[in-house]
Chain A
Amino acid sequence: AAGVIQSPRHLIKEKRETATLKCYPIPRHDTVYWYQQGPGQDPQFLISFYEKMQSDKGSIPDRFSAQQFSDYHSELNMSSLELGDSALYFCASSWEGTVRQWTQYFGPGTRLLVL
Chain B
Amino acid sequence: AQTVTQSQPEMSVQEAETVTLSCTYDTSESNYYLFWYKQPPSRQMILVIRQEAYKQQNATENRFSVNFQKAAKSFSLKISDSQLGDTAMYFCAFGETSGSRLTFGEGTQLTVNP
- Name A residues whose Cβ lies closer than 8 Å to a Cβ of B: 31, 33, 35, 37, 42-43, 45, 48, 50, 55-56, 58, 88, 90, 92, 94, 96, 100, 102-106, 108-109
Contacts and interface: CB of A to CB of B under 8 A. Distances in A.
Nearest to A50: B99
Interface stretch (B62-70, B72-80, B104-112): B104-112
Q: What size tier do the contact residues of chain B reach?
A: 20 to 34
Contact of A102 (B37, B91, B95, B104): B95
Task: Summarize A's interface: helix, strand, loop or mixed.
Answer: strand
A20 B103 CA distance: 25
Nearest to A104: B102
A17 to B, nearest CB: 23
Contacts of B107: 42
The 6 closest A-B pairs by CB, nearest first: A106-B45, A45-B101, A42-B104, A102-B99, A56-B100, A31-B99
